[in-house]
């Protein structure tokens, strides 16, 4: 996106990519259909040490702007839940769109290019690669984070930032499955494959709650609700989970003629998958059958507190939180304040979107912001 925008201005552009094929992460995104944006994109959908940093770029290049580009290329798309837009056919359509736009803007894309070093000489940069040297007045780092190393992810962008004296907000895996402690694994591990709608939130004071699906895995918890909460989680903290959002399971038991485990389990089966309902009754039975005891049990159902042992790490993380400190960059251009001509865009910056197309929209918007001036 940055190259396309700069190319439109008549700049001579080359995209250096160490992968043998462009857009490898695009091709695996959204289950192969690329969740290319989200109609409800706002700055509040992003995590950053500076929650206001993303506002400028996002306001100047919106989901509707990218959607207009998608429509111009005749790509069929559909909206899933919560404003998420996907290709009808394949993520390849988005990659082909970008490559076609690059070609139209006379942008050269050089795959299989491994960078040995980057140097600054006066007002220009020299990039030494396995395919020779490149010199340019503007250098844009769009290398992403550490997520999914098998796809070629590295910390190269952070290394360049440090080389030029820029601060880094400590990277961490985000939008990532959580791993149970051994105690919880022994208790809940048999539920692998069970999924249910919950509300999940990190324990941090300002961590938002997400009402989406939870999935039990062989090692812990996953699913959209947990992935969202994981971006706010820190080691030692809990994740708070409402297993029955909007439901009052104990009400018919309190109002009914029978108060026993079978009646309570039948009521819980109306809300949760049968295996989870049975496991919950066994692990957390009511302390009695009085109104007060049942109400206390109900509160526990809506406030399951899980302290994960960790995450599945960068291998399973959809994105990397943290990155180049936004205090080092111009919010309108993405240029390093202390290093003229050096730009950082996309995931390498300390701006991390929620699940659902927000990270792609940040990539498009930050790329355009830099491309308009680089």
pLDDT tens digits along 259-300: 999 999 999 999 999 999 999 999 999 999 999 999 999 999
- Encoding tokens for residue 118? 């980057």
Q: What is the mean pLDDT of each run of 10 residues along the chain (374 residues)?
A: 98 97 95 97 97 98 98 98 96 98 98 97 96 97 97 96 98 98 97 98 91 98 98 96 96 89 94 97 95 96 98 98 98 98 98 98 98 97
The SS3 call for residue 171 is: strand
d(CA 191, CA 309): 18
Cβ–Cβ under 8 Å, residues 66 and 35: no
Pair (244, 263) in one structural domain: yes
Note whether residue 1 is domain-resident. yes
Note whether residue 316 is domain-resident. no
Q: How many residues does the chain have?
A: 374
Note whether residue 317 is domain-resident. no
- Encoding tokens for residue 82? 């919560």
Cβ–Cβ under 8 Å, residues 267 and 298: no
Pair (46, 161) in one structural domain: yes
Pair (264, 360) in one structural domain: no
d(CA 315, CA 213): 22
Cβ–Cβ under 8 Å, residues 28 and 155: no
Confidence (pLDDT) at 206: 84
Pair (46, 83) in one structural domain: yes
Q: How far is CA 278 from the centre of its chain?
A: 33
Confidence (pLDDT) at 256: 87
Note whether residue 61 is domain-resident. yes
Sign of CA pseudo-dihedral 225, 53, 369, 347:
negative
- Encoding tokens for residue 182? 């051994």
Cβ–Cβ under 8 Å, residues 358 and 54: no
Q: For tokens 């020779």, what's the residue?
A: 132
Confidence (pLDDT) at 263: 93
Confidence (pLDDT) at 111: 97
Q: Look up the domain containing 200 and give its range.
A: 178-311
Pair (303, 333) in one structural domain: no
Looking at the structure of the chain, the number of domains it has is 2
Pair (264, 191) in one structural domain: yes
Pair (93, 206) in one structural domain: no
Pair (300, 331) in one structural domain: no
d(CA 134, CA 156): 17
d(CA 185, CA 96): 44
User: Domain end: 268, 292, 311, which one?
Assistant: 311
Kindly give the residue spans of alpha helices, DSSP state H, lying in 21-148.
24-28, 55-60, 63-72, 92-104
The SS3 call for residue 134 is: strand
Pair (335, 297) in one structural domain: no
User: Domain end: 291, 311, 331, which one?
Assistant: 311
Could you report how far apart the first and last alpha carbons of the chain are, in Å? Answer: 12
- Encoding tokens for residue 214? 């939870």
Pair (280, 189) in one structural domain: yes
Which residues, at least 6 apart from 167, have a Cβ–Cβ distance to it below 8 Å?
Answer: 161, 324, 325, 327, 328
Pair (10, 115) in one structural domain: yes
The DSSP code for 360 is H
d(CA 189, CA 205): 29
143: domain CATH number is 3.50.50.60
301: domain CATH number is 2.40.30.10
Pair (249, 280) in one structural domain: yes
Q: pTM to 2 decimals?
A: 0.95
Confidence (pLDDT) at 204: 83
């Amino acid at each position: 996106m940055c190259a396309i925008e700069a190319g439109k201005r008549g700049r001579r552009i080359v995209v250096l990519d160490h992968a043998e094929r462009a857009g490898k992460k695009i091709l695996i995104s959204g289950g192969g259909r690329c969740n290319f944006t989200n109609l409800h994109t706002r700055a509040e959908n992003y995590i950053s040490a500076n929650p206001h940093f993303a506002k400028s770029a996002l306001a100047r290049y919106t989901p509707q702007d990218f959607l207009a580009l998608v429509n111009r290329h005749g790509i069929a798309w559909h909206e899933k839940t919560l404003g998420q837009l996907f290709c009808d056919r394949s993520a390849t359509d988005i990659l082909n769109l970008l490559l076609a736009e690059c070609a139209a803007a006379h942008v050269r894309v050089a795959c299989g290019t491994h960078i040995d070093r980057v140097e600054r000489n006066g007002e220009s940069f020299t990039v030494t690669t396995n395919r020779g040297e490149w010199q340019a007045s503007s250098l844009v780092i769009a290398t992403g984070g550490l997520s999914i190393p098998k796809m070629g992810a590295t910390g190269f962008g952070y290394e360049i930032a440090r080389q030029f004296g820029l601060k880094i907000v400590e990277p961490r895996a985000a939008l990532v499955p959580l791993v149970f402690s051994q105690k919880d694994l022994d208790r809940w591990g048999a539920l692998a494959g069970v999924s249910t709608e919950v509300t999940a939130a990190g324990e941090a004071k300002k961590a938002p709650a997400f009402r989406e699906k939870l999935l039990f895995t062989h090692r812990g918890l996953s699913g959209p609700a947990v992935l969202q909460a994981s971006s706010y989680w820190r080691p030692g903290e809990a994740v708070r989970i409402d297993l029955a959002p909007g439901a009052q399971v104990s009400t018919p038991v309190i109002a009914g003629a029978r108060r026993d485990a079978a009646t309570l389990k039948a009521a819980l089966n109306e809300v949760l998958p049968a295996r989870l309902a049975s496991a919950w009754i066994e692990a957390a039975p009511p302390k009695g059958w009085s109104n007060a005891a049942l109400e206390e049990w109900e509160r526990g159902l809506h406030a399951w507190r899980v302290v994960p042992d960790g995450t599945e790490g960068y291998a399973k993380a959809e994105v990397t939180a943290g990155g180049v400190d936004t205090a080092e960059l111009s919010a309108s251009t993405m240029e390093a304040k202390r290093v003229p001509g050096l730009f950082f865009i996309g995931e390498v910056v300390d701006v991390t979107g929620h699940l659902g197309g927000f990270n792609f929209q940040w990539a498009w918007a930050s790329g355009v912001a830099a491309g308009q001036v680089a």
